[in-house]
Amino acid sequence: MKMLEEPTWRKSSFSGGNDGNACVEVASRGADISLRESEIPGTVITASPRQLAALLAAVKSGALA
C-alpha cells in the first residue's frame, strides 16, 4: 500500500499578510485540490477542480450566505 506524501500547503493570497494563522491554505493532491483552515489543520476538504470551481462560483454569487 502506497502512502500519500504530506502535501505542500500554500497560503491563499486573500488571507492577508498578518503573522496570525487565520487563513485558508490550498494543496494539490494528484488530480484533486485540498483546502484547510490554518487554525484547524487537521480538517481538510478535498475536491476535484470541477467541484472546487462550483463551490467558488456559489461563494462569489452569495448563494451560500
Kindly write down the DSSP assignment for every residue of 15-29, as one continuous string: G-S-SSS--EEEEEE
Q: Is residue 36 part of a domain?
A: yes
Q: Is residue 30 part of a domain?
A: yes
Q: Is residue 31 part of a domain?
A: yes
Q: Is residue 38 part of a domain?
A: yes
pTM of the prediction? 0.70
Which residues constitute the domain of residue 47?
21-61
Q: Is residue 8 part of a domain?
A: no
Number of domains into which the chain is organized? 1
- For the four alpha carbons of 45, 51, 57 and 63, in that order, the dihedral sign comes to negative
Residue range 18-64, pLDDT digits in tens: 655 578 899 998 899 999 988 888 999 999 999 999 998 999 999 98
Q: Is residue 3 part of a domain?
A: no
pLDDT, residue 6, reads: 80
Residue 33 contacts residue 52 (beta carbons within 8 Å) = yes
Residue 23 contacts residue 13 (beta carbons within 8 Å) = no
Q: Is residue 9 part of a domain?
A: no
